[in-house]
Amino acid sequence: MNDMRVSESAVGAQDVKISARKVQVFYGENHAIKDVDVEILDRTVTAFIGPSGCGKSTFLRCLNRMNDTIPICRVEGDIMLDGEDIYDRRVDPVQLRAKVGMVFQKPNPFPKSIYDNVAYGPRIHGLTRNKAELDEVVEQSLRRAALWNEVKDRLHAPGTGLSGGQQQRLCIARAVATSPEVLLMDEPCSALDPIATAQVEELIDELRANFSVVIVTHSMQQAARVSQKTAFFHLGNLVEYGETGDIFTRPQDPRTESYISGRIG
Amino acid sequence: MTAPRRSLLAPDPRTIARNRAEARFRAYGLGAVGVALVALAVLLLSIFGNGSSAFYQTYLEVPVMLPEKSLDKSGTRDIEVMKKVTTVGYAKVLKTALDEAIEANGIIVEGLGKKDVGNMISDEAAAQLRNMVLADPTLVGQTIAFEMLANGRIDGYYKGRVTRESAALDSNVSPAQLDLADALAEKGLLATRFNLDFITAPDASDQRPEAAGLGVAILGSFYMMIVVLALSLPIGVATAVYLEEFAVKNRFTDVIEVNISNLAAVPSIVFGILGLAIFINFAHLPQSAPIVGGLVLTLMTLPRIIIPARAALKAVPPSIRDAALGVGASRMQSVFHHVLPLAAPGILTGMIIGLAQALGETAPLLLIGMVAFVRDYPGGLFDPATALPVQVYNWTQRADPAFVERASGAIIVLLIFLLIMNTAAIVLRRRFERRW
């Protein structure tokens, strides 16, 4: 575990962006998430780690109500975004998802041009008034996703023709284009090679300047490299949540220690 | 106990047996493909062998003098007056013209009465001449070059259907008539040439196979396909999209799903009975009309469109839906912007195959009266018409062997339409896929 250099950047006194209280998730009879309390800070990278099937992805998908698409899934408890309950009956998940963007495990660009991929979100939300504005949003998003220089000459080539790492950065650009406040990333690097992974990780660190980023990852090294806060999930419970440095160097819970030292998971 | 080491150069008995089994299986597969190909070849050969001659027809080409004396006694060229002259009058004109042409060319007629010579002309020719004259009364008094249809038996002689031996036994044609036909052909007065009328002309009665055409049937089928396309595409795609993308999965949707599969397996004649009961007996739509045929075929085609459309929608990777929802698209936006365009090639292929099946369907149309003898071109969806496959069925019921040729010819036309539709399916599919 020599390469586990913990990010030095200290977490300042940031505002709480998302706060979850006593969140329970059920898949039919299966109690997948039990009593999770967590506060996610603004302009911070928060990593969810834990063994497979521990519920970290499930919990992530609660944050922008992607679980709504699964009929048997039921969520209880409160999840507040800037003090507003996102599971309130008056909340339209479509609006929520514009504020809480998501990047998935497998790069999933639309089978359209690179430009159309990025422009899709702004278009459906009516964020731009004319073509020039849209062009600007597309360029800015691609720049933020560190992809602009690679694709600026072929914006109208299909997005599916890019390499895996480029596709994932395109998906990040697409998510960024709707100017979300929170960016959820579900194992964004698991389908990428080490070089592409390094690029995406660097990108995540830059995104922190503008967004609150929540990343689910299998790789503890990755969590240590990119995040300031880390939450360790085990069997549907949030076992430990704290500063990334503390979690990896001074875990409070024996289960956390076992996991980061490789004995469980 | 360890077995002695076997050389890799000599295969062991198990390997030999396994390889044999595989070789046998390949042989079975090859055999199955071979049987299918042979069957297809036999089918095509027999249809084209029987049917290609339907596209050719034997005509008598003689100058015809249209005498004012018998065709327009009043001399006013008034259509109403001229209409009083029936086809019998025109038949006489044609017979005279043929007799004169025989005489003028110095052909000696042996063993034939005057009537026998005239019988070589199709009854339809007089009707055609009458229509021609009524359409252009100025022709009266002139001598025109007119191509008269030869009698079906004479036509059959040039297509190998009638021989001198068979003619000797046939009361409708005699060997002497065939001799005369040969003599006429030698002088260039009788010729077999391409027969566009087979595609455009309406059906003809039992006695006039030489005049029977597919015009009404093609038009009827065309109208029905328009009805089927206009109804089953939107209904079928909307059903598939709703069931696949929006409907909650519960017992009710399960029942619907099972029923759609069952409907696809219902024999088509049952849809005919349904159409008869609902569209004709209850809704009082006209019998034999393409609108009813189209509605019945729509009912029959719908499940066959919905099932492949659902399969095509299901084949769109869920990650695309996630991606769309993830950037804040609504359900409907994710379906219409992303899922449906990706499923379009599959939906389109299913659609065209469904249409092709509908085009070839006969049984339900028999029950709603589309088997009727229709000589007037349908002007719209509510006029009586027939359909291509029904015309084939109809012609195979007729006694005159000339109709067998007509039926095979109609099958060729039907196959060509199906081929065009399938090609369209492939081309559209390619075009849609190229966009991505």
Contact A192, A165 (CB under 8 A): yes
Same domain, B271 and B411: yes
Same domain, B91 and B190: yes
Report B:337-356 residues touching A (Cβ under 8 A). 337-338, 342
Contact A224, A260 (CB under 8 A): no
Mean per-residue pLDDT for B163-169?
86
Interface residue B248 vs chain A (CB under 8 A): yes
Number of domains in chain B: 2
pLDDT digits (tens, 9 = 90+) for B296-324: 999 999 999 999 999 999 999 989 999 99
Contact B153, B173 (CB under 8 A): yes
Tell me the CATH number at B363: 1.10.3720.10
The per-residue pLDDT for A219 is 86
Same domain, B386 and B238: yes
Whether B423 maps to a domain, the answer reads yes
The per-residue pLDDT for A135 is 94
pLDDT digits (tens, 9 = 90+) for B107-142: 888 778 778 888 888 888 888 889 888 888 888 888
Same domain, B189 and B223: no
Tell me the CATH number at A12: 3.40.50.300
Whether A146 maps to a domain, the answer reads no
pLDDT digits (tens, 9 = 90+) for B90-109: 888 888 888 888 888 888 88
Least CB-CB distance to B327: which of A69, A111, A178?
A178
Whether A93 maps to a domain, the answer reads yes
Whether A152 maps to a domain, the answer reads no
Same domain, B249 and B390: yes
Same domain, B232 and B373: yes
Confidence of residue A129 (pLDDT cuts 50, 70, 90): confident
Percent residues over pLDDT 90 in chain B: 41
pLDDT digits (tens, 9 = 90+) for B382-435: 988 999 999 999 999 988 888 988 999 999 999 999 999 989 888 888 887 755
* Residues of chain B positioned with their CB less than 8 A from the CB of A69: 321-322, 325
Q: Which of B325, B327, B338 to mutate to test the interface with A (most CBs of A within 10 A)?
A: B327
Spatial distance between the Cα atoms of B7 and A194, rounded to a whole number of angstroms = 45
Same domain, B253 and B398: yes
Task: Tell me how far the alpha carbon of residue B327 is from its chain's centroid.
Answer: 51
Asked if residue B235 has pLDDT above 80, the reply is yes
Mean per-residue pLDDT for B59-71?
86
The per-residue pLDDT for A1 is 41
CB count within 10 Å of CB B198 equals 22
Same domain, B231 and B182: no
pLDDT digits (tens, 9 = 90+) for B237-246: 999 999 999 9
User: Pick from B135, B167, B195: which residue ends a domain?
Assistant: B195
Whether B422 maps to a domain, the answer reads yes
Spatial distance between the Cα atoms of B94 and B61, rounded to a whole number of angstroms = 11
Is the ipTM beyond the 0.90 threshold?
Answer: no
Asked if residue B161 has pLDDT above 60, the reply is yes
Whether B206 maps to a domain, the answer reads no
Whether A221 maps to a domain, the answer reads yes
Least CB-CB distance to B323: which of A69, A110, A177?
A110
Whether A46 maps to a domain, the answer reads yes
**Are the beta carbons of B323 and A174 separated by less than 8 Å?**
yes
Confidence of residue A133 (pLDDT cuts 50, 70, 90): very high
Mean per-residue pLDDT for B10-15?
87
Whether A167 maps to a domain, the answer reads no
User: Pick from B138, B165, B195: which residue ends a domain?
Assistant: B195
Same domain, B59 and B187: yes
Higher pLDDT, B357 or A192: B357
Among A150, A140, A113, residue whose Cα is nearest residue A207: A140
Query: Token pair of A140, please?
Result: 């800015």
Cα distances (angstroms) measured from residue B104 to each of B149, B291, B351, B390: 20, 54, 61, 46
Whether B355 maps to a domain, the answer reads yes
Asked if residue B436 has pLDDT above 60, the reply is no
Whether A128 maps to a domain, the answer reads no
Whether B63 maps to a domain, the answer reads yes
Q: Which residues span the domain enclosing A74?
A: 5-108+181-260
Torsion of CA A243, A247, A248, A252, to 10 degrees: 150
The per-residue pLDDT for B435 is 54
Torsion of CA A109, B427, B243, B342, to 10 degrees: 0
Same domain, B351 and B426: yes
- The residue assigned the tokens 């939906």 is B347
Least CB-CB distance to A97: which of B325, B338, B342?
B325
Q: Which residues span the domain enclosing B299?
A: 215-432
Asked if residue B261 has pLDDT above 60, the reply is yes
Mean per-residue pLDDT for A129-140?
92
Spatial distance between the Cα atoms of A218 and A228, rounded to a whole number of angstroms = 16
The per-residue pLDDT for A265 is 54
Interface residue A123 vs chain B (CB under 8 A): no
The per-residue pLDDT for B230 is 95
pLDDT digits (tens, 9 = 90+) for B138-160: 888 888 888 888 888 888 888 88
* Residues of chain B positioned with their CB less than 8 A from the CB of A174: 323, 327
pLDDT digits (tens, 9 = 90+) for A163-215: 888 999 999 999 999 889 999 999 888 888 888 888 889 889 888 888 899 99
Burial A115-141 (b: 16+ CB within 10 A, else e): bbbbbbbbbbbebbeeeeebeebbbbb
Number of domains in chain A: 1
Same domain, B341 and B285: yes
Computed over every residue of chain B, the mean pLDDT equals: 89
